[in-house]
Amino acid sequence: MQPGELVVLTIMLPQHADRVTVRAFDRDAAPFADRDRQWRALVGIDLDVKPGTYPVTVDAGGLHARYDLIVTPRGFPTRRLTVDEAFVTPPPSEEARIAREARLLADVWKSAAPQRLWSDRFVRPVPGTANSAFGSRSIFNGKARTPHGGADFMSPSGTPIHAPNAGRIVVARNLYYLALLGN
**What SS3 class is residue 94?**
helix
pTM of the model: 0.72
Give the pLDDT of residue 67.
92
Cα dihedral 162, 165, 171, 173 sign: negative
Which residue ranges form the domains of the chain, and what is each CATH number?
A: 6-71 (2.60.40.1590), 78-179 (no CATH)
> For residue 101, how many other CB atoms are within 10 A of its CB?
16
Would you call 103 helix, strand, or coil by DSSP? helix
The per-residue pLDDT for 128 is 80
The pLDDT score that the predictor gives to residue 56 is 95
* Beta carbons within 10 angstroms of residue 161's beta carbon: 12
* Residue-level pLDDT at 112: 66
Coil, helix or strand for 58?
Answer: strand
CA distance 174 to 1: 33
pLDDT value at position 165? 66
pLDDT in tens, the chain (183 residues): 999 888 999 999 999 999 999 999 999 888 988 888 999 998 989 988 999 999 999 999 889 999 999 999 999 889 898 988 877 888 899 889 889 988 887 887 776 666 677 777 777 888 888 887 788 888 989 988 888 887 788 888 888 887 776 655 544 444 444 433 333
**Any bridge partners for residue 6, and if so which?**
44
Task: Give the per-residue pLDDT at 181.
Answer: 37
The residues pairing with 139 across neighbouring beta strands, listed in sequence order, are: 80, 144
